[in-house]
Structure 1
């Protein structure tokens, strides 16, 4: 867990995590919404035309605002669905009502088991030199895998 969160009690930790995820979700929504109106750079525009955003738009079209709420309990889909809501120009009050319970769920998960599990795994693996090597190899493998998949998709 980031050092500035270490000394907080449970309620304060949940509030801090809620504020963090709320700010991140709002920023994602508004950046995507502004990109659609042409106020963002070409870099954002290219990301918004990608495969992940098309999948996010399909989920949003199929399930509506509840897809935004549930996305906070996933890894990787949260950003895509928040951006999809912005691209789709979902009305802000509707987006806000869908986002708030998702932010609370995310904060509760990370305040209880999220960070505890992450740091327990890192601590147990990094306790030895081989554990550190394993973590580095895992990180390299993930980066190489992502690069290979992206290149294959771009090639197709």
Structure 2
């Protein structure tokens, strides 16, 4: 995070956007693959019925495609929502615009407020250890 914090805003934002876009889409495709795998393994299917996945599926069912970008403003359900979108086979024509909006929000948040917070924590750490 230090290297990102040292970069101009545009570079920090772009770097974070690429990272989160890759991660979110990989999670979506893992969900798509799990759907296929769960058909083959009852044990794996049982694990996908846990409370986090149930919460993500309820949010996805209730709010539809809007749950994907909103999940990027939360802590704890972002991965589950993206996985759930893949697992429930959300069409790519809906998922890609939604995940792009979410990634923009996330990258903007972390490249501004996140970098400032990280810098403050690092400064406090340096002061405490000096």
- TM-score class normalised by the smaller sequence: 0.7 to 0.9
1:135 maps to what in 2?
A: none
1:90 maps to what in 2?
A: 90
1:37 maps to what in 2?
A: 36
Uncovered stretches (5+) of structure 2, i.e. residues with no partner: none
Local SS of the residue matching 1:64: helix
User: Are positions 1:66 and 2:66 aligned together?
Assistant: yes
Are the structure 2 counterparts of residues 47 and 117 from structure 1 closer, same or farther at C-alpha, using a change threshold of 3 Å? Answer: farther
Q: Output the CA distance in 1 between the equivalents of 2:13 and 2:48.
A: 31
8 Å CA contact retained: 2:56, 2:84: yes
5 Å matches for 1:95-114?
95-114=95-114
1:116 maps to what in 2?
A: 116
Deviations 1:4-51 (A, max 9, x none): x24422111111110000000000000111011118x97965653221
Uncovered stretches (5+) of structure 1, i.e. residues with no partner: 130-156
Q: Output the CA distance in 1 between the equivalents of 2:119 and 2:45.
A: 36
2:75 maps to what in 1?
A: 75
Are the structure 2 counterparts of residues 10 and 62 from structure 1 closer, same or farther at C-alpha, using a change threshold of 3 Å? Answer: same
User: Are positions 1:17 and 2:21 aligned together?
Assistant: no
CA RMSD of superposed structures (Å): 2.5
TM-score (norm 1): 0.72
5 Å matches for 1:109-148?
109-124=109-124, 127-128=127-128
What is the total number of aligned residue pairs between the two structures? 128
TM-score (norm 2): 0.85
8 Å CA contact retained: 1:32, 1:48: no
Q: Output the CA distance in 1 between the equivalents of 2:28 and 2:101.
A: 16
